[in-house]
């Protein structure tokens, strides 16, 4: 079970609201990258049996994540997401797109945190709030783990909608990740408008030209 030790230390330093941030969808071959921010205050307690199950979204079943999605939305002071589509990912790269989604999530919040905890080893550029980047934060820090669940569930729902529009690719099954089945479908049908053309297997590798002798 995750505790609130990291958050308590920050609150003890005088900060009022903490926003945990994580993203889902860096690796897939199709669809958007989605970031989420979950805001908690110093009075937040893990006193709900469901909240005690909050963990890195990758370690939870889809059914458990969906249940926790509702619990987190009800218990947190504010929750928002940011969505950056595959066209932008192709244009500016996946890292910058993830940062853009994180900033979108923050900007959309009705209640702004004055301290941000972000998963990973890189801080979010162009952020006015104080922040800390925590490696494996989604497995160590409650607020980040909660954000990972919101981001993952939100992105999965978007890919279920994508499946209705492009059923031949079976997005509901693999959520756009490069599974064997997905690669088979790409080989059969080619890319659709949701595929990231800057990612392999779509991106054309540049080969060095041999200078003339």
- Name which of 11-15, 55-59, 188-192 the model is least confident about: 55-59
Which three-class secondary structure state does DSSP give residue 76?
coil
pLDDT in tens, 21-64: 999 999 999 999 999 999 999 999 998 898 999 988 888 999 99
Indicate if the pLDDT at residue 188 is higher than 70: yes
User: Whole-number mean pLDDT of the chain?
Assistant: 94
- Kindly report the pTM of this predicted structure: 0.93
Closest by Cα among 113, 102, 85 to 11: 113
The answer to whether residue 197 sits within a structural domain is no
Tell whether 174 is covered by a domain: yes
99, part of any domain: yes
Say which CATH number the domain at 110 has.
3.30.420.10
Classify residue 64: in a domain, yes or no. yes
Q: What is the pLDDT of residue 58?
A: 87
Number of structural domains, the chain?
1
Q: Is residue 103 domain-resident?
A: yes
Domain of residue 16, residue span: 5-189
DSSP secondary structure string for all residues of 108-121: H-SS--SEEEEESS
pLDDT above 90 coverage of the chain, percent: 90
Q: Which pLDDT belongs to residue 204? A: 60
Q: Does 47 fall in a domain?
A: yes
Q: Is residue 39 part of a domain?
A: yes
Residue 56, pLDDT score = 81
pLDDT at 99 over 80: yes
Q: What angle do CA 98, 76, 66 make, to 5 degrees?
A: 70
pLDDT in tens, 124-173: 999 999 999 999 999 999 999 999 999 999 999 999 999 999 999 999 99
Judge whether 207 lies within some domain.
no
């Amino acid at each position: 079970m995750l505790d609130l030790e990291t958050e308590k230390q920050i609150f003890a330093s005088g900060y009022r609201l903490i926003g945990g941030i994580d993203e889902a969808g860096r690796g897939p071959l199709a669809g958007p990258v989605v970031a989420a921010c979950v805001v908690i205050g110093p009075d937040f307690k893990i006193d709900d049996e469901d909240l005690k199950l909050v963990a890195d979204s990758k370690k939870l079943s889809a059914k458990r994540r969906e249940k926790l999605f509702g619990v987190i939305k009800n218990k947190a002071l504010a929750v928002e997401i940011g969505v950056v589509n595959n066209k932008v990912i192709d244009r500016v790269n996946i890292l910058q797109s993830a940062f853009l989604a994180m900033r979108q999530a923050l900007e959309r919040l009705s209640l702004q945190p004055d301290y941000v905890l972000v998963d990973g080893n890189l801080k979010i550029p162009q952020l006015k709030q104080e922040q800390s980047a925590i490696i494996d934060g989604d497995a160590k820090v409650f607020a980040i783990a909660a954000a990972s669940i919101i981001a993952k569930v939100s992105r999965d729902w978007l890919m279920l909608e994508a499946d209705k529009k492009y059923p031949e690719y079976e997005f509901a099954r693999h959520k756009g990740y490069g599974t064997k089945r997905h690669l088979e479908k790409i080989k059969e049908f080619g890319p659709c408008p949701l595929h990231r053309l800057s990612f392999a297997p779509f991106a054309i590798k540049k080969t060095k030209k041999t200078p003339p002798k």
